[in-house]
Amino acid sequence: MDTLHLLGRGFAELFQMNELLALFIGLMFGMLVSILPGLGLVMGVVLALPFTYSMELGPAIILLTAIYMSGTYAGCFTAILYRIPGEPMDVPLLWDGWGMTKRGEAAKALGWALVAALTGGLVSTIVMIALAAPLKNLALSFGAPEYFAAVFFGLTTVVALAGNSLPNALISLCLGLLVSTVGIDGTYGAERFTFGFTELMNGVPYVMVLVGMYGYGEILSKLSHGSSLKAIPAQDSFTTRFPSWNELWGLRATFARSTGLGTLLGLIPGAGATISSFVAYGVEKQYGKRGDKLGTGIPEGIVAPQIASTASVAGHMVPLMTLGLPGSGATAVILAAFLLQGVQPGPFLFQSEATTLIVYTIMASMFASVIGMCLLGYLWIPLVVRALLIPTGVLAAIIVMLTLVGAFADRNSLSDVWIVVVFGVLAWILDRFKIPIAPMVLGAVLGPMAEDSFTRSMITFHDDWTIFFRQPLSGTLMGLALLSLAFPLLRDLLTRLSRSKPKPFGAA
């Protein structure tokens, strides 16, 4: 049967009562749980998993994918409005989203995020349906060297985050990479930097690093700069503000670049929305028309990471359903739901008519999830923007309470609360020394992926580091990464040379 016929049958199945109810509950629950820092979409999918035991396979997977899709989008609320990312992938959003909020343009920033999520979700879902079969071969060709090259490409984003001080950004990045090495080494079993604390055996949870540095640390930094917190500027609108057609057309290159990056990186199991988000922001910083202004509060800084992270959701489902390989924490839980129902995702999923129909019902539900989450977002934006009217002192207390409660709720462990406090204090110290915290967060999040893929590459290819450049895919990614590092340095060098040229004789 052809793709369109199967997709039509999938939509027919989707509009059954059980499937629609699962879709609606999933969208609502995903948005609610993603707004609380420290929980996030993966925890939302995990919490919903037990409820799928008594459900049929179709509604069960629809419920979980709806949570996954809406949770990926909803993290923009806290990142843009309060400078607190709910997930690592939301970190690039706050660099420009918070700048727009401080100018009174919170509703406009959220409008851009909504349009970006709609675009990334719809386009990537279409790509997933059209190219699932051929792209599974590309995903299969990714080995350890390709994983490392992709992560290294993400780490080169530090150049974009450096601002006016590359040395300080590199110091921050190295601190983040150091944090990522805490715990038991996954390859050799060696214990590293635990200092006798058993709670650190499994490493420092990067979610706690995020919550501590951007939530608790933000409050400490503001308090240290004055006796009271500065009020958030009045907002110019409390209704959802969408960009005009002219504004959208002006960012057409950003939309195209970021959608492509998010979809392609989503196909790589293990790469995830986080790498997609950081890489899209870094690429926009390097090659965008207004890349030098990213970080000051412009729409490109919201559109690029939001499109990429949302587009990666559909990309993750391709290796899951075609190869049985989860591309992220959320898809690992969805894989567990398949297995609990006695179904093994992979090539065999397409061999029987019943399971093939379920696959296309899931694809149809992803279309509906994108549209549904955007409708909910449209209704929620006026409410969340009005939350900025809460007195700043009260809001600070609420943020501290939510960060600490969210930290405890993640694993029901007081040690996570202490980790949040420690990294909040560390963020305050770095702020005092004018060291940016974004590169440290980048290192802490991507460090484990880089170490694991690098170690596996060295073991597999007998310590031959040239493998990263000899393989076509990894060589291309490494070349792009090195180009990203060299481009701003060459640009600065050319700028200095042009300024130092002697003026013509007689020039004023």
Confidence (pLDDT) at 230: 47
Confidence (pLDDT) at 243: 76
Q: pLDDT tens, 293-349? A: 887 888 888 888 889 888 888 877 876 777 666 666 677 778 778 877 777 776 666
Q: Where are the domains of the chain?
A: 2-227+238-494
Helix 438-460 vs helix 272-287: crossing angle, to nearest 10: 110
Task: Please determine, for residue 254, whether its predicted confidence score (pLDDT) is greater than 70.
Answer: yes
Q: Can you read off the two tokens belonging to residue 20?
A: 């629609």
> For the chain, what percent of residues have pLDDT higher than 70?
78
Q: In sequence order, which residues have a C-beta less than 8 Å from that of residue 209 and are 6 or more positions away?
A: 179, 419, 423, 441, 444, 445
Per-residue pLDDT band for 175 (boundaries 50, 70, 90) equals: very high
Residue type at 476 in one-letter notation: T
Looking up tokens 């999040």 gives: 445
Confidence (pLDDT) at 24: 92
Average pLDDT, rounded, for the chain: 78
Average pLDDT over residues 345-359: 72
Q: Can you read off the two tokens belonging to residue 352?
A: 């029987």
Confidence (pLDDT) at 163: 54
Average pLDDT over residues 439-463: 85
**Distance separating alpha carbons of residues 183 and 204, to the nearest angstrom:** 7
**Distance separating alpha carbons of residues 256 and 313, to the nearest angstrom:** 17
Phi first, then psi: give them for residue 316, nearest 5 degrees: -65, -30
Task: Please determine, for residue 158, whether its predicted confidence score (pLDDT) is greater than 60.
Answer: yes
Buried b (16+ CB within 10 A) or exposed e, 455-470: bbbbeebeeeeebbee
Confidence (pLDDT) at 314: 80
Task: Determine contact, residues 128/366, Cβ cutoff 8 Å.
Answer: yes
Confidence (pLDDT) at 264: 79
Per-residue pLDDT band for 508 (boundaries 50, 70, 90) equals: very low
Confidence (pLDDT) at 25: 92
Task: Please determine, for residue 1, whether its predicted confidence score (pLDDT) is greater than 60.
Answer: no
- This prediction has a pTM of 0.65
